[in-house]
Amino acid sequence: MKTLRMAIVLILVSATASAEEPSYKFDWDTLLAASIKLQKDFNYRANVDSYLRLFEPDVWDFVRNDEFELDAQRKKTIEKFQAEIERFSLDQPVALNTWLTIGQYNFETKSFPVMNMTEGHHWYKRRYSSGSFPREFRMYLSNHALLAEIPMSPDEARAFLNRRKDRNGEVNRRIEVTLRIRLTELKRRTQSDLLGEIQSARLFHNRQQKHVFKDIVKLAEKKTVAEETQESVVTTSDEKSNIDVSSE
């Protein structure tokens, strides 16, 4: 029996230097749970039959033709459904394995522009049998500018391109990356479009994701004067930047 809770169990994302905190897998089940969590008035009663058909099909087949058994099962399942969504944490990041497409090196900014990090770009997951739930979920990024470009010195950039050039001189401009994203809100007040915020990005040299060449991390929001005073925090000039970039 597969419940929604089992479908969105935490996975451990491997790290090169040290183990990172657990994260959810980027899939339809995770996006469904996040969408429900972000809805203040989600109707569990109206969606309980779809929950049973998708996540407990054996139970659904057993009770579907007996209205008394079905009514009793609906009541129990609604409680389970609500508890699973309650346990789902929006503070836990989602791990997305994808790629960045880089353009021509910009000698003025000393960086590669990333072509698929725009406001309108999205990643999606689809399930063809979804019942009353959305068939497709789309995720957009609120801080896509964090990865709008990849800084490199000209010498580093030349060596980087040479490493990605094949025997015919063709350059592979797709960079494998693992994004850790926190889902923050529903976009345009729809159930199927979610807005996420990049927490970190790990860029790899190859598809096997064994050789890391750069980590990009979103810095914490700068604290207010009141928060700094209360916590006795000394603010450094590094906090003025939105991007912390380190090469490995």
Ranges 4-8, 163-167, 220-224: which has the least confidence: 220-224
Task: Kindly report, residue by residue over 38-78, the tens digit of the pLDDT.
Answer: 998 999 999 999 999 999 999 999 999 999 999 999 999 99
**Closest by Cα among 154, 138, 244 to 201:** 244
Q: Are strands 243-247 and 174-186 parallel, antiparallel or unpaired?
A: unpaired
Question: Residue 188, class by beta-carbon neighbours within 10 Å (0-12 exposed, 13-18 middle, 19+ buried)?
Answer: exposed
Q: What is the pLDDT of residues 186-233, one digit of tens each?
A: 998 789 999 999 999 999 987 666 678 888 887 666 544 444 434 433
82 token code pair = 């609500």
- Report the chain's C-alpha Rg in angstroms: 22
Convert the pLDDT of each residue in 80-105 to its tens digit: 999 999 999 999 999 999 999 999 99
For residue 177, give the amino acid letter: V
Residues contacting 162, CB < 8 A, separation 6+: none
Q: Which two tokens stand for residue 116?
A: 């698929």
Amino acid identity of residue 230, one-letter, is: Q
Domain coordinates in residue numbering, the chain: 4-247
Q: Residue 215: helix, strand or coil by DSSP?
A: strand
Please give the residue that has the higher pLDDT: either 236 or 206.
206
